[in-house]
């Protein structure tokens, strides 16, 4: 598989398309009847509907296989054009990198993201910019391999627990209103984390994503889709 896909080479193209949608949203009347109402304390519950799909469709050609990624998110409107959001995530999967000493890593972990989300389309309800604090934890197990010329390669199991990290994330989102209560949200994110402990160089870190070659400081960016339902 081309290395460009592994490093999210399509992300700049997705971000460009997202910017075009945001600009179009500023000049077009919003179909969102919810955003036009004066009441406060709107509450919606969302779920990521994309992150597990590439792992299923591409299989071993994707950077994480057999992945189960669950991300419920709660959004609460405190005033017109301003939301507070809370995201709780869980991930389980396997990453394989033949060029690495630890070629196979089975990861399981959780993450929590919380912060404000602002309407950047003059309160039309189309585009949002968000900032979130992030806390995450992970455990890894798998097999490491040390090449040997005389007696052949040496392989052995490893396990690492209590792998914690903290940091921040920015998001740029475009909302598509399917009805008065249903909404599809296209989101681009950039995440920076710092691990507090752990000796392993993770291929994938919960809450960040693809982190091959990184150690203490982790940086990742990506794009996804969320489906939201307005509870009130």
Question: Which tens digits make up the pLDDT trace of 71-90?
Answer: 999 999 988 889 999 999 99
Please tell me the predicted confidence (pLDDT) of residue 10: 46
pLDDT tens digit string along 167-189?
Answer: 999 999 999 999 989 999 999 99
Give burial (CB, 10 Å; 0-12/13-18/19+) of 98.
Answer: exposed
- The stretch 122-146 carries a mean pLDDT of 90
Structure tokens at 165: 């990290």
Q: Would you say 129 and 170 are in contact if contact means Cβ atoms under 8 Å apart?
A: yes
Q: Report which of residues 124 and 113 the model is more confident about.
A: 113
pLDDT tens digit string along 201-220?
Answer: 898 999 999 998 898 999 99
Query: Residue 71, Cβ neighbours under 10 Å: how many?
Result: 21
Domains by residue range for the chain, with CATH: 3-230 (2.40.160)
Task: For the chain, give the mean pLDDT.
Answer: 83
Q: Report which of residues 98 and 127 the model is more confident about.
A: 127
Residue 32 has pLDDT above 70, yes or no: no
Residue 13 has pLDDT above 60, yes or no: no
Residue 2 has pLDDT above 50, yes or no: no
Tell me which H or E stretch contains 5. Answer: helix 3-6
pLDDT-based confidence at 40, cuts 50/70/90?
Answer: low
């Amino acid at each position: 598989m081309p290395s460009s896909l592994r490093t999210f080479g399509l992300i700049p193209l997705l971000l460009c398309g997202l910017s075009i949608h945001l600009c179009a949203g500023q000049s077009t009347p919003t179909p969102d009847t919810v955003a036009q109402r004066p009441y406060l304390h709107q509450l919606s519950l969302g779920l990521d509907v994309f992150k597990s799909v590439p792992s299923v469709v591409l299989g071993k050609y994707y950077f994480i296989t057999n992945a189960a990624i669950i991300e419920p998110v709660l959004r609460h409107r405190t005033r017109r054009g301003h939301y507070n959001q809370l995201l709780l995530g869980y991930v389980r999967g396997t990453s394989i990198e033949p060029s690495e000493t630890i070629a196979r890593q089975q990861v399981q972990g959780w993450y929590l993201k919380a912060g404000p989300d602002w309407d950047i389309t003059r309160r039309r309800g189309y585009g949002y910019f968000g900032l979130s604090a992030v806390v995450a934890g992970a455990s890894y197990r798998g097999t490491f391999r040390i090449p040997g010329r005389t007696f052949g390669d040496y392989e052995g199991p490893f396990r690492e627990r209590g792998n914690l990290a903290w940091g921040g994330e920015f998001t740029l989102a475009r909302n598509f209103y399917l009805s008065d209560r249903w909404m599809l949200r296209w989101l681009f994110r950039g995440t920076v984390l710092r691990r507090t402990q752990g000796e392993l160089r993770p291929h994938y870190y919960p809450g960040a994503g693809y982190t091959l070659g990184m150690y203490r400081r982790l940086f990742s960016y990506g794009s996804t889709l969320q489906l939201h339902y307005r509870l009130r």
